[in-house]
A and B are shown apart, each in its own frame.
Chain A
């Protein structure tokens, strides 16, 4: 509504073309050709300030937009010619690309909006200028949202990120003070989980009152691992401990490890990977023999697992049972592998727990939290420790991580 009012005000004094909405769409479309010829940013984006979308990403987005347009045209045309498989493939592609392209179209329009607002800000009318100024703030924040949407849609989703997580916190160097801080961290994550609507359940805890030596918690909910995955590492605290009598500032650490909680391991057995042997099958079989030897042996060639079954009187049932056993064994093997991987990644995540190897510092004296990986400081230690401000840090980590991944992606 506000935009409508502003827009009509702008039109009244001649800043916008009367046919703005359609013109805007045309510009959005026409821009596709322009950007592919030479790498340039879409109109209006120069006013958006620091953007996380590089020209290269813009080029990629343009390509996707073109693909989306082609797909839409094909789907709206004569689809009776296509067979079912083709149809399914097309509609999947379409929905995949529209996840990215739709926020991008929004973004392009927001850029144009911004451009017009910029023109209004430069105008002489003070009322219009302040109104436009205000509107600009809104547009900027919605641009940021759109950019985030695009980035997260561009990145391939790791299925583990949607899963729950196992959170492990251990007191590091610093004695009693370290275990006090460990307890503080545990409470912080518990409150944060509550705020996010996740289920936080302690699996094991070694504590002495407020002092927590070690705690393992299961956090389940949607996207838990995706949010908490950056918490792994050494957390350093600098404060005057409750145990300190002379008011000196101590530095202690706690280590945090966040591991994905594999909910379902998918076991896929391909027919071509199996070798099925029917015992003593050298003869002619069929009517020639009246065998009661119903043993079936299945060899899973990639893993070398051999399963044998002769429990039932029917070969067919034995084969089914052998397949079930094989599936269970493969599942167990996969689970074992994942557990080993998890152990390895935990060691990698935590490091040695030394004071200098920190990923984040909690400085109580300066009311400051600094994440050393992204050089991000937040001056609200109270809010962080009661879980409310943790989201801000996690958002920053997320964006940085996404951008790093995008940069490494072709």
Chain B
């Protein structure tokens, strides 16, 4: 059944999107969607014989063959498969609040392109920003004169974005990065991402499933390599109360374990109005992993040992406190591009 002309334009899709997102954002998202659909579904599914009949009809009517411009025009049109994908995408986006990153299936992160799949947490730009900043800081502090690679632990790696981003940004063979996560889906996705971006990685990366809340976690990590030099993490930091009022695209789609710290060992549930229980746990873990027993000549004191993303100003104070309590005598806070306190870095003084 032939569709009416209006149906085969992007206008209705744009209208639908703009009701939810506003005009400018709808325009952007629709652009990214159409770019994506051309890329993944590729060449239009138009068959040759259809072209041939068109041609014959034109010759019959004494019309010239298709001009360059006309051919380009037809190539610009979407095939029915592409139209179906676009309609589905817009309806997912509007009706079920599916994040665009899940619809498109990837998100750029530094040099890497991270595959995104529900329910693993989508890489955020704030994380990308501090990862790049951290990488340039470490590169500057270790200007190739150090032989042994840094042993870096990416706690709560999720899609593996921080681990892979660091591996692509840090000087070649200057680090060895291990990403751990409680979720097996996350580890699968992270491993997949490692394969996708293998051409960009200049340092060794590995992923393994591990519950950091488990009492034997520290021991296991310690036995894995002789030493750990740095822990980076984008841990869950959304409090329960905040979670209730989160945007539907986050709450309905992303893994709650990546968002809300759930510290319920031995059946007890901690009161955690600030959402910092996991960060505190991480600081303790860092202490029990003996980050401080390093040889001072090998790793300079100028690089941070514990790098933790936080949710904003309200978490700065308790995070710094937790780091101080666990031997990180010096702390630094980085703000993100939007001016929000985003990262706390703990340093060890020798």
Contacts and interface: CB of A to CB of B under 8 A. Distances in A.
Interface of A: 276, 278, 281, 284-296, 310, 312-317, 319
A314 B128 contact: yes
B304 interface: no
Nearest to B248: A290
A296 B247 CA distance: 22
Contact of B339 (A281, A286, A294, A319): A281
B237 A287 contact: yes
B254 A284 contact: no
Given A294-B125, A316-B125, 15 more contacts: A276-B337, A284-B311, A285-B336, A286-B237, A287-B234, A287-B237, A287-B259, A289-B250, A291-B125, A292-B32, A312-B108, A313-B107, A315-B129, A316-B110, A316-B129
A290 B122 contact: yes
A310 B236 contact: no
Given A278-B337, A285-B340, A293 B25 contact: yes
B159 to A, nearest CB: 13
B312 interface: yes
B99 interface: yes
Nearest to B340: A285
A159 B28 CA distance: 46
Interface in B194-211: none
B326 to A, nearest CB: 23
B345 interface: no
A288 B246 contact: yes
B137 to A, nearest CB: 15
Contacts of A296: 337
Contacts of A284: 242, 311-312, 340
- Chain B: interface size category: 35 or more
Contact of B311 (A276, A286, A291, A292): A286
Contacts of A286: 124, 126-127, 237, 309-312, 336, 340, 342
B59 to A, nearest CB: 43
A312 B132 CA distance: 17
A317 B337 CA distance: 13
A319 B126 CA distance: 13
20 contacts: A281-B338, A284-B312, A285-B124, A285-B126, A286-B126, A286-B127, A286-B310, A287-B237, A287-B250, A288-B242, A288-B246, A288-B247, A289-B247, A292-B28, A296-B337, A314-B125, A314-B128, A315-B125, A315-B128, A316-B132
B126 A290 contact: no
Q: Determine the main DSSP class of A at the interface with B.
A: loop
B249 interface: yes
Contacts of B237: 286-287
B338 A285 contact: yes
B109 interface: yes
Contact of B100 (A292, A312, A314, A317): A292
A319 B107 CA distance: 16
B180 interface: no
Interface in B130-177: 132
A380 to B, nearest CB: 62
Given A286-B340, A290-B247, A294-B125, A313 B108 contact: yes
A287 B258 contact: yes
The 4 closest A-B pairs by CB, nearest first: A281-B338, A315-B125, A278-B338, A314-B108
A316 B311 contact: no
A286 B25 CA distance: 19
B67 interface: no
A30 B166 CA distance: 63
A159 B267 CA distance: 75
Contacts of A310: 24, 28
B71 to A, nearest CB: 27
A316 B254 contact: no
Nearest to B93: A292
B276 to A, nearest CB: 13
Contact of A317 (B25, B108, B247): B108
B125 A290 contact: no
A312 B338 CA distance: 18
Contacts of A317: 108
